[in-house]
Structures are given as C-alpha cells and as structure tokens.
C-alpha cells in the first residue's frame, strides 16, 4: 500500500437521550502512525460476549428495526427507562466497539520497532476493532508466526488469556483443580486443552449432551451435564476426583454458583473429618466472569462458612501479574494459536453484515457454539 488511507469505515454505537440505541457505520479519519505506532488493516475481529455491553447497551434487540442500505445499514433498538440511568455517562456519545482483532501492518512510524512490523500479521487488543483501519502503539501488537492468518489470530487475547488466567489464579490461590461452566464454548475448549497439557484436573459443566460429546472428543474426562437428573451427584463426584474447589462461572445469574458451592462442600465432607456446625474447613471459591444468565445470583448458604463468591476480570489480572508474566502468557498464545488456542466461527460477516437483523438476533443471544467473526475488508 503506497499511499496510506486517510478515511475508513467504523461501526459505531450510540445511546440516544430519547431512549434508543443506534448502530451505524461511519467514515472516520485514519490517523497516520507516529514514531512508535503502526497502521493495521483490520481483517478479522470476533464478536465476544465482552463486546456486547458496549455494542448493544442492554437494548431490546428483539424489537430492533433497520433502515438505510445493505452497505450502510442503521439499526435502532429501544432501551428500557430503568436501564438508561446506568448508561448516563455515554448518552449521546457515538462510541466505537470491538475489543480485539487482527490484520496486516500497512504503515509504520520511523522507529526501528515500528518498521520491523511492516507487512506482518499482528493480533491486537486495542478497542475500536470493528474498523477498516486502526492506528496502534507497537506494544499493543502481538506478531504472529509465518503462515498464521488474520482469522487465526483474531481471538488471541480475550479468550486465550482468560483461560490461562484461570489456571494461573488457581495456582496462585493454592488450589490444584478447577471447575468451569459453559465449558463447551471456544474459551472452554481452550481451557480443556491447557489443562491437558499442564496436567491440571478440570471439571467441565455443560447444558447439553452434544456439548459433553464435543469436550470428550478433545480429551475431557470430567464433564457434567446440568440437564441430567444426576447432575448434583455427578458434579460432587467430579469435584471430589479433581479436587476442584475453585470455579469460574460464565453464567453469573441463577442457581449455578450455589450448585457449585453445594457440590464442593459435599465433596469436601465426603473426605471425612470431624463434624463442625460451620461446615468443612475446605475453602470453596466461585469467580463469576460472565453474564450469560442475567437474573439475580442466588446463594442459599448451605455449604458452611469457608467459601467466597466474587468477580474476575482479565485486565486487573494482567495488571496484577506484571508485564513479564503477561508477556510470557501472550507468547504462549502466539506459539499455539492454531492448536491450543484455535477459535471456531459459525459465521464471517462484513461490517454491514454485523448489523443485519438476522445476525444481531443470533449473536446477541451469546449461545455456545454461535460465534461471529467480523471481517471489515469484505
């Protein structure tokens, strides 16, 4: 690319004071790269659950309408009055979306580190990735090995580093096995592969028989299907075998966190020891890291007093472990991006295609096995 672009299209999300969400494509200025910056032509960016909060702003997608053209669609969806208060800080501000993605470096600043990236395929955690072009700091780019495509590299950060972070957190907190829910997701499959490679016992919780089969096909031996009548018994026995007293829950709402703690306490009690009215002395921890279920988190307190429930986020985790350890984890992802950390996508869409009502109705559900990839170059 001899001349650098000055304008590119970008997907924008706008919460209007009238109580509506507006999604559209806009032409935005492409900033030339500074000394230690590069210009990336974006070729792939996943739609992760973590993208949907900003993108869809808790709007009622089932009542969305579309206007404009196929190339330049405009989607409008209502936002309930009780939600608008939580969105006050972003009202009437058009915002870009897309946490991560990948593409090819087509322009570079004068520094050696920037020039070294020219022509390279890089993965990026930079925000505003539902764009044709992004100007980014060199340190935001993870260089891919030869032969790795932008599609392969698109999901290098959120899911892989979250999965690695779960294992690191388990170790830091003194546990030797763990439990994961919504385990048949791309992230869940990555976590299973990590645990097999690192010899970490893992209990996978799924909701459908076909999800159990998928995980067993990649080597999982402890899978519990919550749709079965035997779920509580199966979960207790699996936790006992894995010594899985720390869990990462992607659902967030409902009874599942309570079910996990109950099974952990039953497993701990099954190991014997003196009776205590305060329950076992085994600490049990559930971290909620997702919100697939939007109802209240229900805790019925039937598992003694040695337990904890909290939130877990990737960014604070990376800040906590420091740059050196974070770089080590990032390099592992780069080295294993087509194996351990390979992502599968059900649909690849253009920027305009991401705003079709059919696509919105699917990815807004955050269903396991329904992952979209945005390709702004289409």
* 322 in a structural domain: no
* 336 in a structural domain: no
187 and 288 in a single domain? The answer is yes
Tokens representing residue 60 in the block: 């009622």
Contacts with 241 (C-beta within 8 Å, 6 or more apart), sequence order: 201, 222
pLDDT tens digit sequence for 168-186: 999 999 999 999 999 999 9
262 and 288 in a single domain? The answer is yes
Using alpha carbons, select from 296, 342, 289 the residue that is nearest to residue 312. 289
Q: Is 125 left (phi over 0), alpha (psi -120 to 50) or beta?
A: beta
Last residue of a domain, one of 269, 300, 316: 316
pLDDT tens digit sequence for 3-59: 899 999 999 999 999 999 999 999 999 999 999 999 999 999 999 999 999 999 999
Residue 311 has a pLDDT of 97
| CA atoms 331, 249, 368, 98: torsion sign | negative
149 and 168 in a single domain? The answer is no
Tokens representing residue 30 in the block: 């492409």
pLDDT tens digit sequence for 61-88: 999 999 998 889 999 999 999 999 999 9
Q: What residue numbers bound the domain in which 305 lies? A: 158-316
Long-range contacts of 331-338 (CB under 8 A, 24+ apart): 332/164, 333/142, 333/156, 333/157, 333/160, 333/161, 333/164, 334/123, 334/142, 334/143, 334/144, 334/145, 334/156, 335/145, 337/123, 337/144, 337/145, 337/148, 337/152, 337/153, 337/156, 337/160, 338/148, 338/152
> Which CATH number characterizes residue 288's domain?
3.40.50.720
Mean of per-residue pLDDT scores for the chain: 96
163 and 305 in a single domain? The answer is yes
Say whether pLDDT at 322 is over 90.
Answer: yes
Q: Is 371 left (phi over 0), alpha (psi -120 to 50) or beta?
A: beta
307 and 172 in a single domain? The answer is yes
* 257 in a structural domain: yes
In the block, residue with structure tokens 């079709």: 356
> Which CATH number characterizes residue 61's domain?
3.90.180.10
366 and 256 in a single domain? The answer is no
Say whether pLDDT at 368 is over 90.
Answer: no
Residue 2 has a pLDDT of 65
Q: 0.85 exceeded by the pTM?
A: yes
Torsion angle of C-alpha atoms 79, 83, 87, 92, degrees rounded to 10? 30
Residue 94 has a pLDDT of 97
Residue 85 has a pLDDT of 93
* 105 in a structural domain: yes
Residue 51 has a pLDDT of 95
pLDDT tens digit sequence for 201-253: 999 999 999 999 999 999 999 999 999 999 999 999 999 999 999 999 999 99
CA 75 to CA 22: how far, in whole Å? Answer: 6
- H helix or E strand, kind and range, residue 143: strand 141-143
204 and 65 in a single domain? The answer is no
Question: How many distinct structural domains can be found in the chain?
Answer: 2
* 34 in a structural domain: yes
Residue 367 has a pLDDT of 85
* 133 in a structural domain: yes
User: In the chain, pLDDT over 90 holds for what percent of residues?
Assistant: 94
pLDDT tens digit sequence for 266-279: 999 998 878 888 99
Say whether pLDDT at 1 is over 70.
Answer: no
pLDDT tens digit sequence for 265-317: 999 999 887 888 899 999 999 999 998 888 999 999 999 999 999 999 999 99
């Amino acid at each position: 690319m001899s001349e650098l672009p000055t304008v590119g299209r970008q997907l924008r999300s706008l919460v209007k004071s009238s109580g509506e969400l507006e999604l559209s494509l806009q032409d935005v200025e492409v900033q030339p790269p500074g000394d230690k910056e590069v210009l990336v032509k974006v070729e792939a960016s996943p739609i992760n659950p973590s993208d949907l909060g900003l993108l869809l702003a808790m709007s009622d997608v089932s009542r969305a309408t579309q206007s404009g053209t196929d190339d330049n669609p405009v989607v409008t969806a209502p936002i309930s009055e009780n939600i608008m208060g939580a969105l006050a800080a972003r009202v009437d501000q058009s915002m870009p979306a897309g946490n991560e993605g990948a593409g090819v470096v087509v322009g570079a600043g004068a520094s050696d580190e920037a020039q070294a990236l020219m022509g390279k395929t890089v993965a990026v955690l930079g925000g505003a990735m539902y764009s044709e072009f992004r100007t980014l700091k060199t340190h935001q780019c993870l260089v891919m090995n030869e032969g790795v495509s932008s599609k392969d590299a698109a999901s290098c950060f959120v899911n892989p580093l979250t999965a690695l972070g779960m294992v690191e957190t388990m170790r830091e907190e003194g546990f030797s096995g763990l439990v994961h829910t919504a385990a048949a997701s791309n992230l869940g499959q990555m976590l299973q592969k990590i645990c097999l490679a690192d010899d970490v016992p893992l209990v996978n919780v799924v909701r459908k028989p076909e999800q159990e089969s998928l995980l067993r096909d990649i080597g999982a031996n402890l899978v519990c299907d919550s749709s079965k009548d035997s779920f509580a018994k199966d979960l207790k026995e699996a936790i006992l075998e894995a010594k899985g007293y720390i869990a990462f829950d992607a659902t967030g709402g409902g009874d599942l966190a309570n079910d996990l703690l109950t099974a952990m306490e039953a497993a701990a009690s099954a190991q014997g020891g003196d009776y205590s009215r305060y329950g076992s002395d085994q600490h049990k921890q559930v971290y909620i890291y997702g919100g697939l279920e939007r109802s209240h988190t229900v805790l019925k307190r039937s598992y003694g007093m040695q337990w904890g429930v909290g939130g877990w986020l990737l960014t604070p985790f990376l800040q906590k472990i420091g740059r050196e350890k974070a770089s080590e984890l990032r390099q592992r992802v780069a080295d294993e991006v087509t194996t351990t950390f390979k992502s599968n996508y059900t649909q690849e869409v253009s920027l305009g295609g991401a705003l079709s009502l059919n696509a919105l109705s699917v990815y807004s559900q955050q269903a396991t096995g329904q992952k979209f990839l945005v390709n702004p170059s289409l």
